[in-house]
Amino acid sequence: MSGSESIKLFIRMSRPLFLLGAVLLYALGVGIAHYLGYEISWSIYFLGQAWVTLLQLATHYLNEYYDAPADADNPNRTPFSGGSGAVGPDKLPPSVPLVSAAACLAIAASLTVLLINTGTLTVQSILIMGLIFAGAFFYSVPPVRLASSGYGELTTSIIITILVPAIAFLLQVGVLHRLVAMATFPLTTMHLAMMLAFELPDYANDIKYGKTTLLVRTGWQSGMTLHNILILFSYLLLGLAMLLGMPIAIVFPALLTLPVGVLQIWQIRRIAEGAKPNWLTLTLTSLILFGITVYLLAFGFWTR
């Protein structure tokens, strides 16, 4: 294998598109601090963002290492589901993701020391950083292996959509504010729906390899119903946030993504009724729905 091919496979294994999601959610947390009038420390911003990204990369690499056999046998892989497909025969050896994960965790530990030295860490921020690390590390690593427990999806959704914006806000402000919860709770249910959509193409393969995902635990029919309920609930939570005092100018643009949410529900219903699935369209629509909603909320806080 040539060096350029190895680099391409390594980039694919790193799942850069998913890294962008955490970047947006981190920006959302800092954006709330900006909206509330706090002066932003850009050095702390980038230190915190680097810490989050390194843990996310470590999670990706560990997941690739432990799921490589099942991923290699997945006939329905999309760019957003079924693993990257970068590890295996004639591709990257299993040692690459394992060493890469160890390197990311070591650098993240060094950044933790730097954050401690800045004096910005509080009891709340240390607790949240600990929860983020525990969830990221044990998502794929035995014996916990949340990815195969049926609880990994909920854990991941909470970490990505609540804890990442929360730590971004805390590193700037030091104490939490109700706007963080009001902005992130709707994203949690939307992210969980996205993960269910990502698991649909892998459903048969996950059963074959004994990977008890949330979709496997609930069954595909109940999982599809849950997906649709979660999307609708996301918009109900956005509306509730507006009623509880979240600025209309920030919430309303996010509500405009509702037609994309309806499209996603329609696709799921079509598949449930027996239509031939287009896995790429399904997973891409789900990613677009979540990504645009996060972007619009973050943009609203940064520009108000």
Write the DSSP assignment of the chain as a string of letters: --HHHHHHHHHHHH-HHHHHHHHHHHHHHHHHHHHTTPPP-HHHHHHHHHHHHHHHHHHHHHHHHHHHHHHHT-TT-BTTBS----BSTTSB-THHHHHHHHHHHHHHHHHHHHHHHHT---HHHHHHHHHHHHHHHHTTSTTT-GGGTT-HHHHHHHIIIIIHHHHHHHHHHSS--HHHHHHHHHHHHHHHHHHHHHHSTTHHHHHHTT---HHHHH-HHHHHHHHHHHHHHHHHHHHHHHHTT--HHHHHHHHTTHHHHHHHHHHHHHHHTTPPP-HHHHHHHHHHHHHHHHHHHHHHHHH-
Say which residue the tokens 């299993």 belong to: 94
CA atoms of 91 and 146, how far apart (whole Å)? 26
Reading the chain (304 residues) residue by residue, the pLDDT tens digits are 567 888 888 898 898 888 999 999 999 999 999 999 999 999 999 999 999 999 999 998 998 888 766 665 566 666 666 567 778 777 888 889 999 999 999 999 999 999 999 999 999 999 999 999 999 899 888 888 887 777 888 999 999 999 999 999 999 999 999 999 999 999 999 999 999 999 898 888 878 877 788 888 999 899 999 999 999 999 999 999 999 999 999 999 999 999 999 999 999 999 999 999 999 899 999 999 999 999 999 999 999 8
Phi, psi of 9 (to 5 degrees): -65, -40
Would you state the CATH architecture of domain 3-303? Orthogonal Bundle (1.10)
Q: In the numeric block, which tokens belong to residue 283?
A: 């997973």
Please, how many CA atoms are within 13 Å of residue 74, restricted to the half-sphere of its CB? 30
